[in-house]
Structure 1
Amino acid sequence: MSNLINQTALVTGASTGIGAVYADRFAKRGYDLVLVARDRTRMEALAARLRRESGVTVDILQADLTNVDELAPVEERLRTDMRISILVNNAGASIASSFVDQSPDEVTKIINLNTTALVRLASAVAPRFVKAGNGAMINISSVVGLAPEFGLTVYGATKAFVLFLTQGLHLELEPKGVYVQAVLPAATRTEVWERSGWDMNALPLLMEVDELVDAALIGFDRRETITIPSLSDVEQWHTFDAARQSMIPNFNQVHAADRYRLVTSDQS
């Protein structure tokens, strides 16, 4: 996207996996970076490599985004740093256990990281992007948000939230010059699986993270709102979305649908 004037990208979950590859790819495009994650050691190693290889400026913000006190400085940086023109909302987590085996604290942590932190960061930067008439957000969702059949109930619900949020922000912000993209990876080879308690040997075939990000960036350059790198037939998404839109005129009715209205018959 050549219309982004200020060349700095802020990437969350940037110490490894998808976030680290996004940082690498934007550095190769000449963007300075702000890296956000909990693991300072890994971020410092990544930053040193990107400075050496690409000659870009890399700042580090160590933060646990589930902690509001640590989230606040990242929000403030997005509000005030006029150089930042891209937000990559990548940080996320899952748990391998079923819903009934997850504790309330575990569920809350997933929701706080995957949705609350993401929307707060988007909220922090959106007014500035709108004022500038420029800027981009990349929100990492998941195909799980479209498939409750996969069984990852809470994780999938958070990713469905990210998808809906992105679609809503697109409708609201695109006319004001702000581009918003949701990326829906399928199973991708990152450390999130092991951190979430999954047995890597029991998993299906995984997409390599470099291939995932490179495909997502093609969608970014094309200004796609929804990018599903593993979906071969894009018409399947278009059909799905068209079916959803076809229902909208029928939602706002003053009476219940006939199928929900009581049926009376004369009794002889």
Structure 2
Amino acid sequence: MSSINVSSKNMTHKSALVTGASSGIGAVYADRFAKRGYDLVLVARDHARMEALAERLRRETGVVVDILQADLTDAGELAQVEERLRTDTHISILVNNAGVSAASSFIDQSPDEVAKIISLNTIALTRLASAVAPRFVRAGDGAIINISSAVALVPEFGLTVYGATKAFVLFLTQGLHFELGSKGVYVQAVLPASTQTEIWERSGWDMNALPPAMKVDELVDAALVGFDRRETVTIPSLLDAEQWNTFDAARQSMIPNFNQVDAADRYRLASKPYVRQLS
């Protein structure tokens, strides 16, 4: 992992650290926060692409950009990004964007492929949030943007491991909202549907076989509207927000019924014939 300070200017502005920043969603988030006046810390494996992005953003916006080349599935390199989040008091926004998928079905994925998806999409994301959250709480300010996916809500799509990791990200975000929101820390889950990023090709998908997808710029701009509104869950492609509200209200309505000392009648009544038979 290498760190390059691309400007000698003192870092007096707030900064945003963006993972998966070399392309796609991460690169657009970097562009948008730079245009909002934030200095940047870009994290990804592809140093050359980050350097090109940094040079453009410095030229167009005058912000300070620091490049951290890191593979977040490598424990040592991940630890260095964690340390940056713990100690750099200029960083007030973490964009947890880095992620990976696989085109193959669960039974065709090797244990190593499964482990890589889980490692990047959940473990690295959680460790980075864990590294920065205590400092945000002490400051009473800060924001964590976690990129989940609409797949988190659709097991029917068959992206079992990827979808499970994104469901984890959604739950984590909702949990952090309840834990940290009252302490001044804003946490947002963004659930893109199909988006025109390189993740599909890198995962082995046939791009010609995929349905039309949202442009990355439109996705991020919509997500930032949700960010400015302080939404906990932002689904840019969902046309009717009441569908999510109804879904979430149905979930909340079940909560009082979970903590029961007796099993539901439908299970107790069904088991009685077996009890009599064994007696």
Range class of TM-score, shorter chain: over 0.9
SS at match of 2:66: strand
Instruction: Tell me if structure 2 keeps the 8 A contact 1:6–1:85.
Output: no
User: Residue 205 of structure 1 is aligned with which of 188, 212, 237?
Assistant: 212
Matched, 1:144 2:151: yes
Deviation readout 1:223-246 (Å, 9 max, x if unpaired) = 000000000000000000000001
Name 1:35's counterpart in structure 2. 42
Distance apart, 1:263 and its partner CA = 2.8
Name 2:8's counterpart in structure 1. none
TM-score, structure 1 normalization:
0.96
Name 2:272's counterpart in structure 1. 263
Matched, 1:103 2:110: yes
SS at match of 1:56: coil
Matched, 1:237 2:267: no
Instruction: Tell me if structure 1 keeps the 8 A contact 2:196–2:215.
Output: yes
Q: Note the 1:1-268 alignment, pairs <5 A.
A: 7-261=14-268, 262-264=271-273
Q: Aligned pair count? A: 263
Query: For residues 243 and 68 of structure 1, what CA distance do their matches in structure 2 show?
Result: 40
Unaligned runs of 5+ in 1: none
RMSD: 1.3
Query: For residues 81 and 145 of structure 1, what CA distance do their matches in structure 2 show?
Result: 32
Distance apart, 1:221 and its partner CA = 0.2
Unaligned runs of 5+ in 2: 1-11
State the 4+ residue runs in structure 1 displaced beyond 2 angstroms: 262-267
Distance apart, 1:155 and its partner CA = 0.1
Query: For residues 61 and 259 of structure 2, what CA distance do their matches in structure 1 show?
Result: 53
SS at match of 2:21: coil
Query: For residues 14 and 25 of structure 2, what CA distance do their matches in structure 1 show?
Result: 20
Distance apart, 1:6 and its partner CA = 5.5
Deviation readout 1:146-200 (Å, 9 max, x if unpaired) = 0000110000000000000000000000000000000000000001110000010
Query: For residues 167 and 83 of structure 1, what CA distance do their matches in structure 2 show?
Result: 25
